[in-house]
Amino acid sequence: MAHRVEVWASSDIKPAATPTDVQVMQVAATDHQENDQWVEVILNSPLRLEKGEYLFVGIEMAGSHPDVACMLMCLEVDEFADRNYWSNATSAPYSWAKLSTYAIPGNIVLEAYGQVVK
């Protein structure tokens, strides 16, 4: 299923309803047809995180059953419950709510790679 990925940085711990300096990447359906497959998205340009900033990744996965995609989650751990948000909006402004609001335990699994810039 095709989906859209939005990446941005902010000094707020909660994602902004209307984030700024957002990088948007489109992921074609053909890029991830198999189950249990990692999807790699390369940013359009480098994103520099300053001290005290957080990285946010928003993923729009619109679809109707059975043509849906799901995020990998660690259900055993709620250590970062304040970092997992959901919005039904397809574009800004987003009305973010914690996943725990919907009684969804655990943490969404995403990985981001970078390097220290001096």
CA distance 85 to 97: 5
Residue of 22, 54, 55, 28 whose CA lies nearest to 41? 28
Of 2-11, 70-79, 104-113, the poorest mean pLDDT is in: 70-79
Is the pLDDT score of 41 beyond 80?
A: yes
- Locate the DSSP E strands across 1-118: 3-10, 23-27, 54-60, 73-74, 85-86, 97-98, 107-108
| Mean pLDDT calculated for residue range 37-66 | 87
Residue whose token pair is 């987003």: 94
CA distances from residue 21 to 5, 6, 29, 67 in whole angstroms, order as listed: 14, 10, 26, 31
Q: Which residue has the higher pLDDT, 45 or 65?
A: 45
> Cis (ω within 30 of 0) for the bond into 93?
yes
Q: Is 29 helix (H, G, I), strand (E, B) or coil?
A: helix
| Mean pLDDT calculated for residue range 64-80 | 74
Of 31-40, 45-54, 92-101, the poorest mean pLDDT is in: 31-40
Q: Where are the domains of the chain?
A: 3-108
